[in-house]
Amino acid sequence: MNLLPRIILFIYLLAFSAHAAKQPNLVLILADDLGWADLSCYGNDLHETPHLDKLAKQGVRFTDAYAASPVCTPTRVAILTGKHPARLHMTIWRESAHNRGNRKLLQPICVDSLPVKHLTLAEILKEAGYFNAHYGKWHVGRAESYPQAHGFHLNVGGTLWGAPQTFWYPYNGDSYFRDWRYVPDLEPGSEGDYLTDRLTDKALAMMEQQVKAQRPFYLNLWYHTVHTPIEGKPELVERYSKKVKPDSIRKNPHYAAMVHSLDENVGRVLAKLDQLGIAEDTLVVFTSDNGGFVNTCRLNKGLQVANNSPLRNGKGSCYEGGVRVPLIVRGPGVAKGKTSAEPVYACDLYPTLLRAAGLGDKAKEGVDGVDFTPVLRDPKAELPREALYFHYPHYYLTTTPVSAMRKGDWKLLEYFEDGRVELFNLKKDIGEKTDLSSVRPEVSNALSAELRAWRLEVGALLPEPNPARLPKKK
């Protein structure tokens, strides 16, 4: 009996089985305060982002992707847990979680650190054999809630603080905040080191180590870029200063320089994946934690930082400019060179990344995110979801306390100070210029009822009237 054909078949099946069971590496790159219109592949006419543009051509670019909140921390906890920030009672960053303010409404007292009782994406991946490494901004809570407490083997740079004092080594400057706004574990360093570059240096070294160890990795690369302080490299600032024209919509060369450095470093990560021979086995996700910051920065001589046009407003606001963000995904099983208009948001990354790792059954009940793998395979696919919700019961430079929702093409905002609602048709009015609440009251009333029911379902915290601001009785 000739056993050779059977032996060959056995070896082939063994190799095929090993390949099928191979766990993909996961790379999640999160920019800080990067607006929807900040990349050239999203229509920006000033910023040069060739590496992210190339990534978009190699995967799926989402036109209707959203952060879970118009500010940083809530979106970050949504990514980690798959739960809406309103459900977690984490709708504001740590430093302001217990600040009720003294405006017309008192802001709710929120949870300031992500409790360890919540099962995170990293914890599930850790159990499955992944090496989990976090680099950059964390801002999810105090020391007891640092990355190591939530499933990460390695934490470089992640602290309770939301931004460095400066992007230049040693990153904490020389002001009152120097002992708070530190970025640890980037030593040794030297004068002239730029934070975005150094975080990438560390991340690339980790990737090499894990490939040698033949272990799948989850890289959580959460850049501080492009958060304030707006400090670009001088040579890039000069380059973009020459590009700005009197009639340019976007006029901040310092911000453009930071976006340029962000793109360069994403390019370095992608090049390393190619060099290590693991690009085909790695899912890469690039997105932002909220919309672009549309106010000014003192370092830039009063220049507006970002311009989210054609979207309205920016960070802090529940208008599209505050919550709509870029999202690009490339990897195994992902369509190439496609664009999807299916609405997705930050909570969805949790079940989607777990599915990519072969752990889709690990997404527990109570998760608000929806696995959007079907859209990655077929960008025209639709998800089984009725609406997206946003809840920001706080004050910011761009807003008063507000809740919002998107259902189909309709977008509703409800403001808590006076109870007014605004209704927009995003398909016809992406800039949210025409309020249709009085023209289509039946739509406005129906969505308002759904929004209020959702707040009750998740137990959302609400602002309260400020007794000190109530009209005095005569």
| pLDDT above 70: residue 150 | yes
* Residues 129-142: tens digit of each pLDDT: 999 999 999 999 99
pLDDT at residue 180 in the model: 60
Q: Which residue has the higher pLDDT, 8 or 421?
A: 421
Looking at 317, 351, 385, the residue that finishes a domain is 385
Query: Do 253 and 379 share a domain, yes or no?
Result: yes
As to burial, measured by CB atoms within 10 angstroms (0-12 exposed, 13-18 middle, 19+ buried), residue 418 is exposed
CATH number at residue 424: 3.30.1120.10
Helix (H, G, I), strand (E, B) or coil at 182: coil
pLDDT band at 357 (very low <50, low <70, confident <90, very high): very high
357 and 449: one domain?
Answer: no
The boundaries of the domain holding residue 229 are 23-385
Same domain, 359 and 210: yes
pLDDT at residue number 174: 63
DSSP class of residue 108?
P
pLDDT of residue 270: 99
Mean pLDDT of 219-226: 99
Tell me the pLDDT band of 228, cut-offs 50, 70 and 90. very high
pLDDT per position as a tens digit, 3-59: 544 544 444 334 333 334 589 999 999 999 999 999 999 999 999 999 999 999 999
Same domain, 397 and 350: no
pTM: 0.94
Residues constituting the chain: 474
Residue that the structure tokens 């708070």 belong to? 180
Checking 243-251 for CB contacts under 8 A at 24+ apart, the result is 243/46, 244/46, 248/45, 248/46, 249/45, 249/46, 249/307, 249/309, 250/44, 250/45, 250/46, 250/47, 250/306, 250/307, 251/303, 251/304, 251/307
Task: Report DSSP state, residue 338.
Answer: E
% of the chain residues with pLDDT over 90: 88
Query: pLDDT digits over 362-382, tens only?
Result: 887 789 999 999 999 999 999
pLDDT at 214 over 80: yes
User: Cis omega (within 30 of 0) on the bond before 164?
Assistant: no
Instruction: Tell me the per-residue pLDDT of 436-465, one tens digit each, with 9 for 90 and over.
Output: 999 999 999 999 999 999 999 999 999 999
The pLDDT of 204-231, averaged and rounded, is: 98
**Is 408 found in the same domain as 354?**
no
Phi and psi torsions of 133, nearest 5°? -130, 130
Mean pLDDT of 107-134: 98
Quote the CA–CA distance of 276 and 264 in Å, as a whole number.
Answer: 18
Q: Are residues 233 and 292 in the same domain?
A: yes
Domain total of the chain: 2
Peptide bond into 226 cis (omega under 30): yes
The 10 Å Cβ neighbour count of residue 41 is 17
In a domain, 10, yes or no: no
